[in-house]
Structure 1
Amino acid sequence: FSSWSGDANGNNNPLTITMDANKTITANFTLINTNNPDGIDLSSAGDFVVIGGAGITNTGSTTLLTGDVGSFPTPTINGLNQTNVNGTLYTTANPIVGQAKSDLTAAYNDGQSRTLNAISLPGQLGGLTLAPGLYVNSTSTGISGTGPQGILTLNGDANAVWIFKMGSTLVTDPGTFIVLSGGASTDNIYWVVGTSATFGTNSIFFGNVLADISITLNTGATLNGRALTRTGSVSLDTNLATKP
């Protein structure tokens, strides 16, 4: 219950009224989405658009990354320089990246531990419109198909949270994409990937990708979010990636 309207006002409940004439009184309620999970705290990992564990490799000169970039414990970065990065590019071992990796691990473990109000996540997400919630698939999921079947729509307001948890891989086909509607925020979308994530050529993806092993963005793929991997490498090729 939120308030009264019509011939009464305020939010006192119970309400006492004097019926000295015909009156119309409406009780107003605010719908609370009980399936909306808490977000995952990225802490200092949230400053980064790309984190690798075993290095980062880029093969496209026009790749543009907005946010910090680094790898730990292997700091090797090939094919990137500061002209590709609108943020700090860490090319040697740095405790800042080490702390971000530690925070990433905590965030990943948090995501993988979520079970409350879990919804079954299908293997094919193309053609679906999904409300906020925790979605779980014990194996693999992705977006495939062309036309409407290659589009995943996430519909919710600015406070809505989506957590997609999978036991194995996340794979999107070339040209597939995600659409946000209703004011949904990229920062509130989390993909917790049990092994590796691969994004198809010229695909468009939204959200924070937390992968245990590796992340690959194929030629021309766009990521509105973060590519954060714990143990393996991140591979880039003529990509745009922008942290929220």
Structure 2
Amino acid sequence: MLDLRFLVLSALAFSGINNAQVDLGIASAFAVLAGTAVTNTGSSTTNGSVGVAPGTAITGFPPGTITNGAMHLADTDAFQAQAYVAAAYAAAAGLPPNTDLSGQDLGGMTLGAGVYSFSSSAQLTGSLVLDGHGDPSSVWVFQIGSTLTTASAASVLLINGGSPCNVFWQVGSSASVGAATAFVGSVLALASIDAVTGSSFNGGLYARNGAVTLDTNNVLGGLACPTTATCLYKQYTCGYNLVAARGYNNAELTAAANQTGPIPPLTTDELLQVLYYCNDTANHIVGNSFCIAGCIAMPFRYDDQCAM
């Protein structure tokens, strides 16, 4: 009955939360991001970049390997990603909780989408099941006042359409994930993250002020949920055109004049610069900046101007 109560409560309260409220932005291109240092032992693998800022120490790559990403030591990308992590951390911490789980072990629970809070530490022993109830936009946010600790061989399982890109663990201190644990979701820790030997992650590891320590882990980062957006600019219909991070392509603009609707999953470069444009009723676009009715095409982040 306890699990059923959680499912009912979270289903009733979920209507006010969506994945746009906890936005990792360009940080989603990072599998691992630390504030002071990233230290690896053994043959860890990451899908996504590994970075540190403001610290400058990354060790253990190799033997660790990075796929679909690069190493970023206190460079512009790492600092920008940390800014997004700080914003995502604050957004997650600021959501009104649906259910207080303080003092309870997450092991053995089945939870629907919602915001779950712990006044101090959180513990996972055994398996936690996250049930999406057939809704791929279901979001889970765990607000943890101090530490997050999992036992060895613990697991987080997603069922019925839930997506790992919509699971967030906001940790007020440090996180320690036990050996051979299969973990799901992005960990946003104020201090450090310790991934014990053999643990695996379907989500990114983001330590704002401390270190991330790896030991023969698999970190499947780079999780950015597909995003949809629509908007109106004065009386004109707005569309979108994804362009490279540098320069505009007028031919692409013209060809895309009638496109509106879903924005496909974005690469890192595309996320840095999404070109929105407007077209008049005759669908004319002149140059890279203006259309003949005086409708201005300008570059800006889609989530700055469009309702999500």
Q: Give the CA deviation at 1:197.
A: 0.5
TM-score (norm 1): 0.81
Residue of structure 2 equivalent to 1:120: 100
Q: Give the CA deviation at 1:226.
A: 0.6
Q: Give the CA deviation at 1:46.
A: 1.0
Q: Distance in 2 between matches of 1:99 and 1:154?
A: 31
Cα contact 1:76–1:91 (8 A) shared by 2: no
2:55 aligned with 1:74, yes or no? yes
Q: Give the CA deviation at 1:228.
A: 0.5
Q: Distance in 2 between matches of 1:158 and 1:141?
A: 26
Cα contact 2:41–2:60 (8 A) shared by 1: yes
CA 1:113 to 1:221, structure 2 compared with 1: closer, same or farther past 3 Å?
same
Residue of structure 1 equivalent to 2:33: 51
Q: Give the CA deviation at 1:79.
A: 0.6
Q: Distance in 2 between matches of 1:226 and 1:83?
A: 16
What letter corresponds to residue 35 of structure 1 in structure 2? Answer: F
Residue of structure 2 equivalent to 1:240: 218
TM-score (norm 2): 0.64
2:155 aligned with 1:177, yes or no? yes
Output one character per residue of 1:100-151: Cα deviation in whole Å (capped at 9) or x when no partner.
Answer: 0011111111111111x5211243000000010010111011211xxxxx11
Match of 1:84 among 62, 65, 68: 65
Q: Give the CA deviation at 1:211.
A: 0.4
The worse-fitting range, judged by mean Cα deviation, of 210-219 and 91-100 is 91-100
2:130 aligned with 1:154, yes or no? yes
Q: 2:73 aligns to what SS in structure 1?
A: coil
Q: Give the CA deviation at 1:87.
A: 2.9
Q: 1:57 aligns to what SS in structure 2?
A: strand
Q: Distance in 1 between matches of 2:193 and 2:140?
A: 20
Runs of 4+ in 1 over 3 A off after TM superposition: none
Cα contact 1:64–1:239 (8 A) shared by 2: yes
Residue of structure 1 equivalent to 2:204: 226
Residue of structure 2 equivalent to 1:165: 143
Q: 2:90 aligns to what SS in structure 1?
A: helix
Residue of structure 2 equivalent to 1:217: 195
Residue of structure 2 equivalent to 1:129: 110
Structure 2, gaps ≥5 residues long: 1-10, 224-308
Identity %: 35
Residue of structure 2 equivalent to 1:65: 46
Q: Distance in 1 between matches of 2:88 and 2:179?
A: 28
Q: Give the CA deviation at 1:83.
A: 6.0
Q: Distance in 1 between matches of 2:101 and 2:31?
A: 26
Q: Distance in 2 between matches of 1:163 and 1:93?
A: 29
Q: Distance in 1 between matches of 2:163 and 2:63?
A: 28
The structure whose Rg is larger is: 1
What letter corresponds to residue 57 of structure 1 in structure 2? Answer: T
Cα contact 1:203–1:222 (8 A) shared by 2: yes
The worse-fitting range, judged by mean Cα deviation, of 104-113 and 33-42 is 33-42
What letter corresponds to residue 39 of structure 2 in structure 1? Answer: T
Output one character per residue of 1:148-196: Cα deviation in whole Å (capped at 9) or x when no partner.
Answer: xx11000013111000001101100000101111011000000000000
Q: Give the CA deviation at 1:80.
A: 1.3
Residue of structure 2 equivalent to 1:138: 119
* Greater per-residue helix proportion: 2
Q: Distance in 2 between matches of 1:189 and 1:239?
A: 19
Q: 2:130 aligns to what SS in structure 1?
A: strand
